[in-house]
Structure 1
């Protein structure tokens, strides 16, 4: 809808309120419900929104060392603009109109801390090179028969999974909770988040959903909305949905893999495909992959942004630990899928379900374009067999501190993502590390309380 059509729609349907939101640095949707008059008045000038949402962490605790906002600025309002192309209605909330937005100044320049603005900038670079980026993210997540209150009452311990047992790809488990599963698929589709596939994964109460592929910005919008939508639909069924990378050391982690390809501008030709190549990979595809392999150590916190992310990245747990690639090999960091021309793509397997989709896709696209712009050669040999054992090209950093410190110092990260973004983002990740480092964990109590 354009502005005129939207105004007519609002008046014709006697709509009194609008919901809008945007993603913060952690991918958490922050937003408001506003009166339609305020909404229509702000379509041109934007809506004032306190920029503390980029000055605090996921627990609403203010950062101590970021420049974009803080006590030194007084936490002012900044202009948040809605994107009319994101219009949809929320089917489980009486079809209230909903929009996504992002932060930019009067000249249209994105706020350095705004993830969607970052992705828009990198997508423009992609378009300027003549490419159409086709992306999709897939998510694994655990479900529990709990409520927000019971989580607090139980101190997040002894939680009841939605179903017992492992049951990967089980039709039985989908049938057992058919009302919830049916709601997920049908309501997400009505919310303009069509699923390409949906099934159980290995673990008690685990589901996996692959989102339909589309243009990278729409793909990231859908992925951000997907996580919140799943949580809200789950609430209606007395279920808590959990997107942590690894909630239990004895169970598999939850991935958030990103699938991507570049097409010509009219979307008629997959530029990653070459029928004459042994792996059906075009030179462009190889350059793109080479860029991701090269940039990975410089931008890892974009793919693994939390303390918990690195608990998933361990050997033999269906998540990569080495900087490797292969065709149809799920032990490597990058998996080439080449089953047909229309579906030839690259799967970046490092990201977990805890990621911010805007940042994941921005990192993947920016590093791939780096390889194309610099015509990098794919000189890392394809891994044959167990990718965990192939450490010849390096391993993934073991924790958030090392990854964020490396990114903070990286000239490559600043080149492809912008120095202001890198400064802000890495400060937030190092803050996360400091919060963890000073906490006393259950493991420490069990380990040392009596015996030491």
Structure 2
């Protein structure tokens, strides 16, 4: 099997490095519903002897827990009644990479299959794979890039936990959007992340400051959608780990404070299977009908698929007028007030979905965009007129403002059932129900401050 680039490892290279003791640990990981890498640390020699040929196993409850790793009811895949059996980690040998910040360690990302065979269809990677296969049937491959923002704090994760995540010290004490000085203050950490991620097989573009205090973004080059989702997950996990090694902490929460939230703008385009342009007519210098249908499909499904773009209670705190986080289901040319922004021309022509935040699961967001866009292509949906000016005041339909509203839109979506399957819809509706039940039973600091004495 070929590697994605020359910084990734082939099976033979991995074998040689294990036998020479350059690598002694192989991490096998998959991405769970919450977008986290989960898996096992395997001793190198045991990996060669017993795991490389057939993978390993893990409890299927890993796709049926909440953020706290509590087992919860309502999932068809896993329950006490079914005995919480295993699922198989199937190695994707195109994803072998070193983790330079972890000496002697390599990572392999995995698909999940059932013990008796067949994919675990509700796993995020399987959901995205199903849409890439659907695109291929139409003669397309999808390319994407994710722009993931985060906030850096001088406090360690342990100190932040002990402080109840209150009164932490951001790495910058003022707005450093595009500030060379502001980025330079955090550059030792940013540089480490960039260089380590490059060595791990990611194609790094740049870093820049953002608006919230201590907020930054590191950008990576676009790639085929599965590669982008895999890289996104490795980067997000590794950035936290690298920050922790330096006594700092990073959060990708969509809205960690009352100031600007962390976005994850997603860029996507289609190409022909032969690499030809699908979104741009070079002869006329204009968008193709395929591009217009694709945009129309993403817009048509945006409200119904918001659960895949904004998966947590906190996600919806970003959506506010004048915040650069969108509220209107609208499109425009280079218009950052719209949820869909068109940028570029020729080979660079692409659409930017500005809805997702830093807490997004990249597999689910990319699957939702691709599924909605392909629905538009299949049904030749007409693209509505462009929104010019301030989309916040345009009167266009708005995205859901709460997780409950998004949950209900997804649950009632016939298109979601058509493009993802009934099992996927039921699984992620239950995911939302679990989050809602947990939040609605919690007593918040806001309630205590308002009610302890005065009510």
Residue 427 of structure 2 corresponds to residue 427 of structure 1: no
Greater displacement, 46-55 / 36-45: 36-45
Consecutive unaligned residues in structure 2, runs of 5 or more:
2-9
Which of 35, 38, 62 in structure 2 is aligned with 1:27? 35
* Aligned-residue offset at 1:109: 3.0
2:18–2:45 Cα contact (<8 Å) kept? no
Which of 264, 267, 283 in structure 2 is aligned with 1:259? 267
Which of 79, 82, 95 in structure 2 is aligned with 1:86? 95
Map 1:404-419 → 2, pairs under 5 A: 404-419=407-422
Which of 325, 336, 348 in structure 2 is aligned with 1:330? 336
Aligned partner of 2:379 in structure 1 is: 374
What does the per-residue CA deviation read over 1:208-264, in whole Å, with 9 as the maximum and x for residues that have no partner?
122210111001101111111111111122210100000112x10111111011112
Structure 1 residues 361 and 171, CA gap change in structure 2 (3 angstroms): same
Equivalent-residue separation in structure 2 for 1:9 and 1:94 (angstroms): 12
Aligned partner of 1:131 in structure 2 is: 140
Map 1:21-420 → 2, pairs under 5 A: 21-40=29-48, 41-105=50-114, 109-249=118-258, 251-267=259-275, 269-275=276-282, 280-338=286-344, 340-378=345-383, 380-392=384-396, 394-420=397-423
What does the per-residue CA deviation read over 1:365-400, in whole Å, with 9 as the maximum and x for residues that have no partner?
11111111111111x2110000111223x1111100
Aligned partner of 1:448 in structure 2 is: 451
What does the per-residue CA deviation read over 1:118-145, in whole Å, with 9 as the maximum and x for residues that have no partner?
1111111111211121111011110101
Structure 1 residues 377 and 82, CA gap change in structure 2 (3 angstroms): same
Greater displacement, 194-203 / 428-437: 194-203
Aligned length: 446
* Aligned-residue offset at 1:169: 0.6
* Aligned-residue offset at 1:4: 5.4
Equivalent-residue separation in structure 2 for 1:95 and 1:371 (angstroms): 47
Equivalent-residue separation in structure 1 for 2:138 and 2:52 (angstroms): 31
Equivalent-residue separation in structure 1 for 2:381 and 2:187 (angstroms): 49
Equivalent-residue separation in structure 2 for 1:296 and 1:388 (angstroms): 16
3-state SS, counterpart of residue 348 of structure 2: coil
* Aligned-residue offset at 1:428: 0.7
Equivalent-residue separation in structure 1 for 2:87 and 2:31 (angstroms): 15
Equivalent-residue separation in structure 2 for 1:136 and 1:451 (angstroms): 49
Structure 1 residues 32 and 186, CA gap change in structure 2 (3 angstroms): same
Structure 1 residues 178 and 57, CA gap change in structure 2 (3 angstroms): same
Equivalent-residue separation in structure 1 for 2:211 and 2:337 (angstroms): 16
What does the per-residue CA deviation read over 1:395-445, in whole Å, with 9 as the maximum and x for residues that have no partner?
111100111122112111111111111110110111101110111111111
TM-score, structure 2 normalization = 0.94
1:254–1:352 Cα contact (<8 Å) kept? yes
1:24–1:30 Cα contact (<8 Å) kept? yes
Consecutive unaligned residues in structure 1, runs of 5 or more:
none
Structure 1 residues 106 and 265, CA gap change in structure 2 (3 angstroms): farther
Equivalent-residue separation in structure 2 for 1:427 and 1:175 (angstroms): 44
Equivalent-residue separation in structure 1 for 2:267 and 2:131 (angstroms): 17
2:31–2:233 Cα contact (<8 Å) kept? yes
4+ runs deviating over 4 angstroms: 1-6, 275-278
Greater displacement, 407-416 / 85-94: 407-416
Aligned partner of 2:24 in structure 1 is: 16
